[in-house]
Structure 1
Amino acid sequence: MFMLGYIWTYIYTSVLRYWLKWFIRQATGTCELQRICSGYKPGAVRTTKAEYSLRSSKNKVLRGALETNKDNLEQCVAQIMKEKNVKPQKDPLFKESLHICLLQITGNSSLYISVEDLRKEVFNSENQGHEAMLLKLWDLLMPSVKLDSRITKQWGDIGFQGDDPKTDFRGMGMLGLINLVFFSENYTEEARQVLSHANHPKLGYSYAIVGINLTEMAYSLLKSGALKPHFYNTVLGTPDLRHFHQLYCYLAYEFDKFWLAEEPESIMEFNQYREKFHDVVKTHLQDPDVTLTLTVCSKN
């Protein structure tokens, strides 16, 4: 059955799809991209179909649109309209609709590059900006408690493993710290609530370490392309780092609710429940109307 499916897919994409598109164009007078842009509302379904159409095209101009940078998108749209003989007076909405799709598609690739750069940025104790951000995290979460010193066991109170948190950022670099600070700064009440749950005597977990782990989850989902439907539905344009940080906030808040509802026997079962939560998120992302958005009000 697998081999038959593979053969059918190959025949369809290599031969049948081209002739089917040609036939429909002759019948309707519109190209596939026009039909997609006019037939679907803005969001994941429309942009995903447009992306597939561009990627599957035999036309170099259309395939190249997926690699175009933001500054050249208008010119790219004009070239596509010329290649497909789309007349603005006959389809006045097509230009803007395709432009939005391309902003989302190329923006997702740009976002991954930005996220990867932060992940590769190593926390440096000699960098005043890095140090200030770490201390800001403490002040946001523990406003009534002062640190005895920069290196202290107190860091364990917000879920770091040792006396110096810098060692915990090795896997996710500055991306892990920035996400923790973003959540604490923009959803302060919720972050403190999650921290209080993390310090529960029976159901507790390491707040900061789990947060960094959830950053890795968000990063992996972005890298695999699984987050595209979410961003295509929630950002009518180019997604940026703030949108990624917002997604992390959703994961941090929802994981806390999930953990408490599941009532694990101990923190030793974290990996098991982490994967279970991961599966829940991936299932949500299969919904074409998915929006992984924290519903409480942020400060901004």
Structure 2
Amino acid sequence: MFACLLQYVYTSFLRYWLKWLLRQLTGKCELQRICSGYKPGAARTTKAEYSLQSSKNKILRNALTTVRADLSKCMDQVLQEKNIQPQKDPLFKDNLHDCLLQITGYSQLYVGVEELRKEVFSSDNPDHESMLLKLWDLLMPSVKLESRITKQWGDIGFQGDDPKTDFRGMGLLGLINLVFFSENYTEEARQVLSHANHPKLGYSYAIVGINLTEMAYSLLKSGALKPHFYNTVFGSPELQHFHQLYCYLAYEFDKFWLSEEPESIMLFNEYREKFHQKVQLSLKNPAVCLTLRVEN
């Protein structure tokens, strides 16, 4: 409770006067100090985001939701509101522009991911069906699928004879993630599948993959992935960057599961939570970069 009181005092009173004092001493506003004092990445962008969110100025707060096409106009408004002379700080506009590309891009990325999550897999959609069959061909190139509805789907970790029922929670997003991993990291995906089929340490490859999609989605929704994307995407994060993050989770979870050697698949939820906590801890590091690095 005391910590909450201190936070309230700081945000309500001390922060304003500290900013005023530093501007008098340096001749620069808080945003200028952030943009010039930090290298590109999470450290700079998260501080710029907090500064804009905390501002009492509506124009500065609205900058956080500006669409990409209006960013240049937004920059001019910020310069005017903060009375910043471009000739005296020529790098400020470009640096803040880069920060806002990341901030607004993250919000748009969530919108795009949410749309895919809400899209229901449909057997009547030829694109959906083609994607599902592609997943089989990528993972099982030497085994022919006997029919569309078959027990063979269990060989790559689906629960029933028709995989469409397993996509209910994460919609098309779950399938896209599985295919992206298999297509872009084919050897690694097949390696993970072989581990998943281990007689003692095995797990349901596809079901766990969809579960990891849910993990990636929840981390994105909560904002926990901001440091990762701000460090790895120097621009606006796109869907492919989210899929790359999924690949990291799929590969690293497999390594984690094998190293932990669970006694039974019945303990999956327990180890899933341990892995989740491990990822969350990594995301608290300002320099975090959850990029899949394949071991040769």
TM-score bucket of the superposed structures, by smaller chain: over 0.9
Q: Counterpart of 1:86 in structure 2: which amino acid?
A: I
Instruction: Report the Cα distance in structure 1 between the residues aligned to 2:66 and 2:196, rounded to whole angstroms.
Output: 44
User: Partner residue of 2:10?
Assistant: 12
What whole-Å deviation, never above 9, does each CA across 1:221-252 have from its counterpart, x for those lacking one? Answer: 00000000000000001001000000000000
From 227, 235, 238, give the equivalent of 1:237: 235
Instruction: Report the Cα distance in structure 2 between the residues aligned to 1:269 and 1:13, rounded to whole angstroms.
Output: 44
User: Partner residue of 2:158?
Assistant: 160
User: Partner residue of 1:78?
Assistant: 76
Pairs within 5 Å for 1:65-144: 65-144=63-142
Moved over 4 A (4+): none
Instruction: Report the Cα distance in structure 1 between the residues aligned to 2:240 and 2:215, rounded to whole angstroms.
Output: 17
What whole-Å deviation, never above 9, does each CA across 1:182-223 have from its counterpart, x for those lacking one? Answer: 000000000000000000000000000000000000000000
Q: Counterpart of 1:222 in structure 2: which amino acid?
A: L
| Stretches of structure 1 lacking an aligned partner (at least 5 in a row) | none
Q: Counterpart of 2:285 in structure 1: which amino acid?
A: D
TM-superposed CA distance for 1:5, in Å, is 1.8
Instruction: Report the Cα distance in structure 1 between the residues aligned to 2:197 and 2:214, rounded to whole angstroms.
Output: 22
Pairs within 5 Å for 1:1-300: 2=1, 4-296=2-294
TM-superposed CA distance for 1:295, in Å, is 1.2
TM-superposed CA distance for 1:33, in Å, is 0.3
TM-superposed CA distance for 1:14, in Å, is 1.3
Instruction: Report the Cα distance in structure 1 between the residues aligned to 2:194 and 2:145, rounded to whole angstroms.
Output: 18
Q: Counterpart of 2:24 in structure 1: which amino acid?
A: Q
Q: Counterpart of 2:195 in structure 1: which amino acid?
A: H
Q: Secondary structure at the match of 2:288?
A: coil
Q: Counterpart of 2:221 in structure 1: which amino acid?
A: K
Instruction: Report the Cα distance in structure 2 between the residues aligned to 1:295 and 1:90, rounded to whole angstroms.
Output: 42
Q: Counterpart of 2:57 in structure 1: which amino acid?
A: N
TM-superposed CA distance for 1:16, in Å, is 1.5
What whole-Å deviation, never above 9, does each CA across 1:157-187 have from its counterpart, x for those lacking one? Answer: 0000000000000000000000000000000
What whole-Å deviation, never above 9, does each CA across 1:26-70 have from its counterpart, x for those lacking one? Answer: 111100000000000000010000000000001111000011111
TM-score (normalizing by structure 1): 0.97
Instruction: Report the Cα distance in structure 2 between the residues aligned to 1:191 and 1:132, rounded to whole angstroms.
Output: 19
Instruction: Report the Cα distance in structure 2 between the residues aligned to 1:260 and 1:17, rounded to whole angstroms.
Output: 48
TM-score (normalizing by structure 2): 0.99
TM-superposed CA distance for 1:8, in Å, is 1.8
What whole-Å deviation, never above 9, does each CA across 1:75-113 have from its counterpart, x for those lacking one? Answer: 111110111111111111111100000000011100000
Instruction: Report the Cα distance in structure 2 between the residues aligned to 1:280 and 1:21, rounded to whole angstroms.
Output: 36
Q: Percent identity?
A: 78
TM-superposed CA distance for 1:254, in Å, is 0.2
Instruction: Report the Cα distance in structure 2 between the residues aligned to 1:293 and 1:9, rounded to whole angstroms.
Output: 34
Q: Secondary structure at the match of 2:202?
A: coil
Instruction: Report the Cα distance in structure 1 between the residues aligned to 2:156 and 2:95, rounded to whole angstroms.
Output: 46
Instruction: Report the Cα distance in structure 2 between the residues aligned to 1:108 and 1:238, rounded to whole angstroms.
Output: 7
Instruction: Report the Cα distance in structure 2 between the residues aligned to 1:67 and 1:41, rounded to whole angstroms.
Output: 23
TM-superposed CA distance for 1:296, in Å, is 2.7
Q: Counterpart of 1:98 in structure 2: which amino acid?
A: L
